[in-house]
Amino acid sequence: MTAAPPAGTVAGAAPPETTAPGRLADGVLGLPSVLFCIVTGAAPLAAMLFNVPVATLGGGYASPAAFIVATVALTIFSVGYIAMCRRVTSAGGFYTFVTRGLGRVVGLGSGLLIAICYMVFAAAVTGTMGYFASTTVESLTGVALPAWAYMIVGLALMSLFAVFHIELTAKVLGVALIAELLVLIVLAVGVFAAGGAEGFSVAPLNPVNIFGNSAAIQVFGTGAAGVALFAAFWSWVGFEMAPNYAEETRDPHRIAKAATYGSVIGLGVFYTVISYVFVTGWGLNGSAEAIKAQYAGETASAFYPLTDRYVGSWATVLMEILIVTGSFACAMAFYNTSARYLFALGREGVLPSALARTSSRRSPVIAAMTVTVLVGLYCLAFVIYDPSNEGALLKLGTWSPLLGVLGILAVQALVSIAIIRYFLTAARSEFRWWSTLVAPILGFTAMAGACVLLVVNRYDLAGAGDATYIRLLPWVVLAVFLAGMAVAVVLRSRYPTRYSRIGQFEVAESVDAPSDTPQGATA
């Protein structure tokens, strides 16, 4: 059923579509499956092994406090985000939200940017997976293969899973996620049972200690609160994926709300606890010393000596294996979301319509294979630039996420503005001072601030000096966004029918959804 266009809709624009030639399998995902898809995108084990050291580099022993700050900020952002999810149900996610609030031109710029960012993430984590697969297999079996060989295998497996039903993918992601969480919980139990290196302290939980941290200054010579806070925000990338699976869930409105809040708050509590475990296991100053040793190449991860000490070497071996499977699961989560963005853009005629074709299992197979090709070419460029195993981790796996995170944070900031405008115009009857005004304003402030932290500290975060990729990073993000806007302008002048469909597809409302939902878009 198609809703009548409300007042304020663009003249001649098509109302939101509720049918299309390409439809994803509906009603196949429940809340646990969506959570698996989301949380594996955030990659809990990889987030802890990579981002806790970065947060400690900037904030010393106060890294847990940085995760607390990020949890609060992202929870506030989620308030307005959930309000928008209840009104708009589409695989387009951010792209659709920005279009409904800020118009088709800005919306398409956001859609193109976010699709590319997710593909960059898929490539980056594929490189990380290749590095750890190479080093882990060699240490356990003596078989030495280059990281790029494992990257090929990983991308082939992702492509194979994409052909099958989304339920199978969710199950694979779920198994990997549970294993990651269990090994970190076992470490936490070991540290808490032993009382840590120096006993327990509340100092790591005090946000004030992020600034001018004595341990960071003593060990590294300086401390950077911006680095600590950005590393914490970085750990949640992927939490916003719930709307992208809306068409395939049994109750999209309820599940989007539960999955988003569950992932943001659940991950926040978990990250805070595990980072506190890390600091407590090493001691306040010892945690910074451990990171210094890791960066000097004395150990592959500052977490591994903790598992040796508080649990046993078997846990360290398990962690080394799970960082491989966890990285693969994370890459697959980003791969799937990238495919759904291309599917949404193809279905609305912005990109070639072939991208909207689905398989007999109603999976976006053409969009997925396109992601395979683009991710493969991106990885190939980095392998040619530096074919070493270290290059897969320190260049492809470290530089690329900076571009992806900057793009996603920028689009999240736009989403906050879009939410405010949408509820002040198209959905005025459901405007609420907290959920659709104050919370989005605070969310915008947090996302914009995180963008600034990334741009200012990008050389330190990349460890790449003045590499061209890092120097041009902000301008690449801007260029992609402007290119998307330019495409929208061309469509508006030359192909008005296709332009009118930008960001307008929406699945039919469930019986419990608001019946008076206006689905208009602004110019």
Mean pLDDT along residues 348-370:
83
The contacts of residue 149 (CB under 8 Å, 6+ apart) are 130, 134
Mean pLDDT along residues 475-490:
95
16 in a structural domain: no
Q: Within 10 Å of residue 448's Cβ, how many Cβ atoms?
A: 17
The residue behind tokens 């090994």 is 183
For the chain, give the percent of residues with pLDDT over 70.
Answer: 80
**Residue among 497, 458, 398 at smallest CA distance from 123:** 398
267 in a structural domain: yes
Token pair for residue 431?
């405007």
6 in a structural domain: no
The contacts of residue 138 (CB under 8 Å, 6+ apart) are 144, 145
**Angle, vertex CA 239, rays to CA 234 and CA 243, nearest 5:** 145
pLDDT reported for residue 421: 94
**Residue among 141, 35, 22, 63 at smallest CA distance from 302:** 63
Tens-digit pLDDT profile for residues 265-305: 888 999 999 999 999 999 988 998 998 888 777 887 899 99
pLDDT reported for residue 251: 59
4 in a structural domain: no
3 in a structural domain: no
431 in a structural domain: yes
The contacts of residue 233 (CB under 8 Å, 6+ apart) are 70, 73, 74, 405, 409, 450, 453
Range of the domain at 419: 31-497
* Residue 440 reports pLDDT greater than 70: yes
* Size of the chain in residues: 523
> Can you tell me whether residue 144 is helix, strand or coil?
coil
Instruction: Name the range with the highest mean pLDDT among 14-28, 33-47, 76-90, 113-127.
Output: 113-127
Give the range among 139-153, 169-183, 373-387, 484-498 with minimum mean pLDDT: 169-183
pLDDT reported for residue 234: 80
**Distances in Å between the alpha carbon of 156 and those of 88, 152, 166, 298?**
34, 6, 17, 34
In this prediction, residue 466 has a pLDDT band, given cuts at 50, 70 and 90, of confident
Mean pLDDT along residues 431-457:
90
* Residue 371 reports pLDDT greater than 50: yes
pTM, to two decimals: 0.80
pLDDT reported for residue 488: 94
For the chain, give the percent of residues with pLDDT over 90.
Answer: 38
Q: Mean pLDDT, the chain, as a whole number?
A: 82
* Domain count of the fold of the chain: 1
Distance (Å, rounded) from C-alpha 240 to C-alpha 489? 28
Which residues share a beta bridge with 249? 29
pLDDT reported for residue 296: 79
Distance (Å, rounded) from C-alpha 509 to C-alpha 513? 6
19 in a structural domain: no
* Residue 508 reports pLDDT greater than 80: no
* Residue 9 reports pLDDT greater than 70: no
Distance (Å, rounded) from C-alpha 346 to C-alpha 76? 32
Q: Using only the alpha carbons of the chain, give its radius of gyration.
A: 22
Give the range among 27-36, 46-55, 139-148, 442-451 with minimum mean pLDDT: 27-36
Distance (Å, rounded) from C-alpha 341 to C-alpha 522? 21
Mean pLDDT along residues 225-254:
70
CATH of the domain at 69: 1.20.1740.10
* Residue 223 reports pLDDT greater than 70: no
> Can you tell me whether residue 249 is helix, strand or coil?
strand
Distance (Å, rounded) from C-alpha 384 to C-alpha 373? 16
347 in a structural domain: yes
pLDDT reported for residue 518: 36
Mean pLDDT along residues 475-488:
96
Tens-digit pLDDT profile for residues 73-94: 999 988 988 888 777 765 557 8
Task: Tell me if 291 sits within 8 A of 311, measured CB to CB.
Answer: no
Give the range among 54-58, 200-204, 302-306 with minimum mean pLDDT: 54-58
pLDDT reported for residue 250: 59
The type of residue at 376 is: G
Token pair for residue 255?
């599940």
In this prediction, residue 363 has a pLDDT band, given cuts at 50, 70 and 90, of confident
Question: Between these two residues, 494 and 30, which has the higher pLDDT value?
Answer: 494
pLDDT reported for residue 109: 94
Give the range among 121-135, 231-245, 364-378 with minimum mean pLDDT: 231-245
219 phi and psi angles, rounded to 5 deg: -90, -45
Distance (Å, rounded) from C-alpha 227 to C-alpha 79? 26
